[in-house]
Copies of this chain bind each other. A is one copy, B any other.
Amino acid sequence: MTQPRAERPHTGRRRNEAAHRAILDAALRLLTESDGTPVTIDAIARAAGVGKQTVYRWWPSKGAVLLDALIDRAGQDVPAPDTGSLRDDLHAFITATFDSAQRTPSAPALRTLVREAARDVHLAELMRTFTATRRATLRDLLARGRDGGELPDDADLDLMVDQIYGVFWYRFLLGHAPLDHAAADRLTDSVLGDRRHADMPQPSHARGDE
């Protein structure tokens, strides 16, 4: 624990990127290993071999460090696919989103992060921005589908986005139901308004209108 610190060289009057890195790494590590107890700034600083002041110099709040640490590492986990088929793209996106929450270190870190966000105004705002980015990505994906005629022109894309991320966060945080591939399949169908996955073999999927 609190690895012996790699004897960072000073960088003089300029920001020490190595210390910066060490802080993010330590934060992510503690976030991941955390057993539910809050991650403290002291602990991060100590684990990074850094003075507390150095943390406070660059981040306005503990939460900002944590979110930064998470984004820094897990930022590109859910790219938006573009295969030409709305259904395929959406299904891939949802599956990837669900999967990302099952994998370490993202899952416990994310949960701790939400915990901290509840206490921290700065972090709450950062989280809002963070989720807004994700939502925008998903909305673009849906907009492509609508423009390609795969969704009605008047589809409420924002509501669709919120249904998807709503289910995700709701289940992720409460943990009362799984976020597995079957759930992803059914959620895709539900949002797109049909039942293709409902009773498995479904040769003539009951489209009808749409």
Which A residues lie at the B interface, using CB under 8 A? 36, 38, 87, 114-119, 121, 127-128, 131-132, 135, 149-156, 158-160, 162-163, 165-171, 174-177, 183, 186-187, 190-196, 198-200, 202, 205-207, 209-210
Contact = CB atoms under 8 A, between A and B. Distances in A.
Nearest to A193: B193
A38 B116 CA distance: 12
A152 B208 CA distance: 13
B159 A166 contact: no
A190 B159 contact: yes
B152 A202 contact: yes
Contacts of A154: 195, 198-200, 202
Contacts of A174: 127-128, 131
A116 to B, nearest CB: 7
B170 A38 contact: no
8 closest A-B pairs by beta carbon, nearest first, are A166-B166, A118-B118, A115-B118, A166-B170, A166-B167, A154-B198, A162-B167, A163-B163
A195 B209 CA distance: 11
